[in-house]
Amino acid sequence: MNAKAEFVAPPYVANMQRVDSYADIDEILRSEDFMQGSHRESGVFFDGSLLLIEGEEHMRRRQLISSLVSRSAMQYYETGALAPVIEQVMKELREKGRDKDGVVRVDLIPLIRSMLYRINALVTGVDSVDTPEKTERFRDLVDKLGVAVTVEWSTRDHDEVIREGLEIRRQLIEEFLLPSLERRRALVREFRDGKAAKETLPTDLLTMLTLHGDDRRPGDEGYVWRECALFLVASTQTTTHTLPHVIVHLTEWCRTHPADAARCTDPTFLRIAAMESLRLHQPAPTLLRIALKDVTLSSGRRIARDERVALFFVPANRETAVFGPDAAEFNLNRVAPPRLSPWGLTFGGGVHMCIGRPLVTGMFNRPDDKSGTEGTMIRILRTLYEAGAEMDPERPPRRVAASYHDAYESFPLILRKL
């Protein structure tokens, strides 16, 4: 168990200028003098999506999609999708029964995915994920798609990973996405013919794209599937990646701060822990940007026109000048510097800041039942700790072997109070 694994950059950034200063990265992310430079290989899955477009087109699309991440949408995802699924999953674990040691053992990684699949489907607009068999099939396809769209970080043959990913996407389209899109086209036709009110239309990505004619793009029929790929993966990736790190850190923290063990069911305490873990462990630890002209940053660093630079978030988020002398450590008593987010640069910055951040961290500025949300990570953590979650001493977690990502592929847990 090592929550502070060394950051290893993938080979494709080896010949790029490395930017690991917090101030420099923040300036680049906010500057209009740079454009997206990431996802050259995974562009086959993402080209033309919100993630990679720029300028006025990006602002128009972001405004269009903003209704999917509104406060009311977040409340619905959490109370109408996440909470019932969590309850059902925990019920199934209770019915499965305890083992000979009197505890319930489970692997956290598939457990998280099983809890998040309904949000995944709702945000994107996927229907018919309504039987155990279809649910398992949908989760399996999205999981495998997630491996493909992070191909830049894979240690396997990249051409093979992409080929596998394209086949997975084809199956997703055929089995789930296309039937869902056709249903939304029919619903939108009824609305336009005056047979249905707009309020009756689903609030999801496929509906938004259909309403605005982006479901059929002359010369680019595959655009809609690339936007779907982004939302299918992004709606669960951060929680799945970071939540195991939170548990590792909290296990170590409570060992040296035993009085805090009783606080692990407190949403406020868990949010602090989640934010500190997000600062230390990024789902996308390196982003690339391309300079649109010769640029001299405030620090004096020079970047030439058309140069692609690698922004290294891990060292930036652990910079002692920004977060203090123990910046590389997990510290629940840390006070974030004024005007800086406690998660550092993890959700990016500028016009491309992650639009789905509230889904993960919650609407914590108004944390009440009517107007606030806990966020997917805190909601799941609270549920697990209420069930007496502990790391399994007999089965250590296992990191992803075929990727440079700081991630786990297996994370055994014991639930003592379920």
Which domain CATH number covers 70? 1.10.630.10
Sequence letter at residue 256:
T
pLDDT of residue 296: 98
Any idea which of 56-70, 135-149, 160-174, 303-317 has the lowest mean pLDDT? 56-70
pLDDT of residue 344: 95
Domain hosting residue 203, numbered range: 11-415
Query: Is 190 within the bounds of a domain?
Result: yes
**CA–CA dist 261, 15 (Å, integer):** 46
pLDDT at res. 3: 43
Tell me the two tokens of residue 168.
């997975």
Whether 167 and 144 have beta carbons less than 8 Å apart is answered as no
Per-residue confidence (pLDDT) for residue 317, from 0 to 100 = 96
- Nearest Cα to 242, choosing from 51, 366, 375? 375
State yes or no: pLDDT of 4 exceeds 90. Answer: no
Q: In the structure encoding, which two tokens stand for residue 49, read together?
A: 């999506």
Contact between 125 and 16 under an 8 Å Cβ cutoff? The reply is: no
CB 116, CB 239: distance < 8 Å: yes
Angle at 307 between CA 304 and CA 311, to 5 degrees: 110
Tally of CB atoms within 10 A around 204: 22
pLDDT band at 370 (very low <50, low <70, confident <90, very high): low
Residue 109 lies in a domain: yes
- Proportion of the chain above pLDDT 90, given as a percent: 71
Predicted pLDDT at 364: 61
Report how far apart, in Å, the C-alpha atoms of 4 and of each of 153, 286, 326 are.
19, 17, 13
pLDDT above 60 (res 360): yes
Does the residue 2 lie in any domain? no
Confidence of residue 118 (pLDDT cuts 50, 70, 90): confident
The answer to whether residue 4 is domain-embedded is no
Judge whether 87 and 396 are in contact, CB under 8 Å.
no
* The pLDDT value given to residue 339: 86
Say how many residues make up the chain.
418
- Kindly state whether residue 1 falls inside one of the protein's structural domains: no
Q: How many domains does the chain divide into?
A: 1
Average pLDDT (354-363) is 87
Q: How high is the pLDDT of residue 235? A: 85
Instruction: List b or e across 5-36, with b for residues whose CB sees 16 or more CB atoms inside 10 angstroms.
Output: eebebbebbeebeebbbbebbbbbbebebbbb
pTM higher than the cut 0.75:
yes
pLDDT above 80: residue 380: yes
What's the pLDDT at 132?
84
Asked if residue 288 is part of any domain, the answer here is: yes
Strand segments, DSSP code E, in 97-214 are 104-107
Query: What angle do the packed helices 132-149 and 108-124 form, to 10 degrees?
Result: 90
**Under 8 Å CB-to-CB from 34, ≥6 apart: which residues?**
28, 289, 290, 291, 292, 295
Domain membership of residue 16 (yes or no) is yes
Going by pLDDT thresholds of 50, 70 and 90, the confidence category of residue 406 is confident
At 371 the pLDDT is 56
Q: What percent of the chain has pLDDT over 70?
A: 96
What is the residue type of 170? Answer: R
3-class state of residue 67 by DSSP: helix
Q: Which residues pair with 104 in a beta bridge?
A: 415
Domain membership flag for residue 315: yes
Average pLDDT over residues 13-37: 94
- Residue 212 scores a pLDDT above 60: yes
How far from 262 is each of 105, 257, 327, CA to CA, in Å?
A: 22, 10, 25
How far apart (Å, rounded) are the C-alpha atoms in residues 325 and 169? 46
First-residue to last-residue Cα distance in the chain: 25
